[in-house]
Each structure stands twice: as structure tokens, then as C-alpha cells.
Amino acid sequence: MKTIKVIFLSFLLFSFVSGYAHEGGKKKVEKKTSDVEKFDPKRDAAKDIENAVKEAKKSGKNILLDVGGEWCPWCRALGKLFAENKDIASYMKENYVVVKVNYSPENKNQEVLSKYPKITGYPHLFVLDKDGKLLHSQETGALEKGKGHDPEKVLSFLKEWAPKNEKKAS
């Protein structure tokens, strides 16, 4: 009987270690909507927005829909500014749940985007309140200066539409 227990426990231990090693020692964790760093045509934009509303209601933040694609150099540049400018990144983290909504030949997200004002160029930003109601539609050309997005203009835009400074939809 003792031999059977030892064999059984050894088997359990081996199974656990094998499974742990097979997973690379890491537990698979689903990314929060706001942790998505790239535009992904395979993502479900409607579900991402639904999750963002839940997250925004809990946190009191507004929602920033960043619409674009990996094919778009201006979209990637704005994403880089969002991530690498410490003031902008910190302000966004404190005040917004960010959702990257893909627009590309693989997935234009027409059904989701049809609920918002027409987009004339990419990237495009929509600000929603914590309940998912549109507050503002922003053409990002207005946030440019020279050959890139102006950090001061971007931060000013973010501050203008942060939860404490909400205005009527425009």
C-alpha cells in the first residue's frame, strides 16, 4: 500500500512539474482591454468597448477609443507617443481606459464604428464617458505639429476631455 501511495504522489508531482514547464512556468493571464498595445484585426472591438465600460464604471475614468491600424505610420507614431511620453502615459493611465479599435482591410469594424461620427483620417480618437456615451470625436491632424504629433497639444486634448472636465458631445 505504501508503494502505491509513493507511486501515486510521484505521478502527481511529475504531472504538475511537466504542466508547469510546458507552460513556460507562467500562468496565462488575459490582458485587460486597456493593456492592448497594438491594433489587432482579430480582436472583438464591441467586446473590448463593453469591457472598457465595465472598467470605466469601476474606476471613474473616461474611455478613449484609438482607431487605426498597424498599416498606418501616423497611428503607430501616436501609439508610441502615448507609451513613451511619461507625462502623457501617466495622465492617460490616471484618466482613461484606452481601447485600440482596428481599422484595416482584414477588419474594418464597420458595425462598431457606424455608431460614431464619420472618420475622415487615421488615427482617430473618440472620447466616451464611463457609461460609453460619446463625448467627443477628435481628428488627430489637429494634434500635429511639423512631422509628428505635438505632445503639448495631445496632453491638452487629454486634459480637456478627462472625467473632471467633461463637456457636451461634439
Query: What CATH number is given to the structural domain containing 41?
Result: 3.40.30.10
Report the phi/psi class of residue 167: left, alpha or beta, with left for phi > 0 and alpha for psi in -120 to 50.
beta
Evaluate whether residue 76 is within a structural domain.
yes
Residues in the chain with pLDDT values less than 70: 1-34, 165-170
Evaluate whether residue 13 is within a structural domain.
no
How far is 147 from 7, CA to CA, in rounded Å? 68
H or E segment to which residue 2 belongs: helix 2-22
Digit-coded pLDDT (tens) for 40-64: 999 999 999 999 999 999 999 999 9
The range of the structural domain enclosing residue 64 comes to 33-165
Structural domain count, the chain: 1
Evaluate whether residue 10 is within a structural domain.
no
> How much is the pTM?
0.79
Evaluate whether residue 20 is within a structural domain.
no
CA distances from 2 to 5, 7, 9 (A): 5, 9, 11
